[in-house]
Amino acid sequence: MTAVTGLEQAGAVLAAEAARFASFGWMRGTSGNLSVLLSREPFRLAVTAGGHDKGELTAEDVVLVDGRGAAVGGGRPSAEAELHARVARLTGAKAVVHVHTVASVLMGRRQPGGIVLKDLEMLKGIGHPAEGEEVTLPVIANSQDMRVLGDRLEAARDPRMPAVVVAGHGLYVWGDSPRQARHHTEVVEWLLELELAAG
């Protein structure tokens, strides 16, 4: 994928990514949102517009926001754009995925202190060794206040783990590009589905 420089181009990429996640059932209703960084100085993030069916987005269904998630040049970003911007600033990620998966909510309920993973080859897909080391996927409490939610994410996140589970809510996952963020999301969800089925 070449660098994403224009807003409409970013919108097209996000629409394609969203359609893929929607086809997995991870963006039911109008849930979830995706973002990709256009520039870090000044901070400009393209975020999917709220209220749309994520399987039907077009290249225009995107809003440009600054480092606090406020709209730049029009459009009404979803409230969660603030958290996307914070994740991108905090982690250095260039793409953020937020999806609502059943497995993430159930595993967050079962292991509210963090989901422990170990001895799984799939861990390599999120930068961890396949064997011998315990890895914890952080779980944070939900909040409707994006500042509070961001503080929790900042406090709980593990710099070596590109994802956080929000209890009763879903997943935030990030990466260096929309494609890497997608792969991280798929890997984290696979791990959660595995542990959920393990009982």
> Binding residue per annotation — 98?
yes
**Cα–Cα distance for residue pair 37/168, rounded to 1 Å:** 27
Q: How far is the CB of 26 from a second copy (least distance, A)?
A: 10
Q: How far is the CB of 40 from a second copy (least distance, A)?
A: 25
Nearer to a second copy, 6 or 168 (CB): 168
> Binding residue per annotation — 169?
no
**Cα–Cα distance for residue pair 97/187, rounded to 1 Å:** 13
C-alpha distances in angstroms, 30 versus 18, 98, 105, 123, 141?
11, 12, 17, 30, 22
Nearer to a second copy, 63 or 188 (CB): 188
Alpha helices by DSSP H, 40-110: 81-91, 102-110
State the DSSP code for 49: P
Q: How far is the CB of 53 from a second copy (least distance, A)?
A: 7
Q: Which helix (H) or strand (E) holds 27?
A: none
- Give the per-residue SS3 of 58-73: CCCCEEEECCCCCECC
Binding site for a second copy (CB under 8 A): 24-25, 28-31, 53, 100, 102, 105-106, 109, 119-122, 125, 130-131, 142-144, 166, 168-170, 179, 182-184, 186-187, 189-190, 193-194, 196-198
Nearer to a second copy, 31 or 72 (CB): 31
Nearer to a second copy, 92 or 129 (CB): 129
Q: How far is the CB of 41 from a second copy (least distance, A)?
A: 30
The SS3 assignment for 44 reads strand
Binding site per annotation, positions for Zn(2+): 98, 100
Could you list the residues known to form a binding site, using ranges. 98, 100
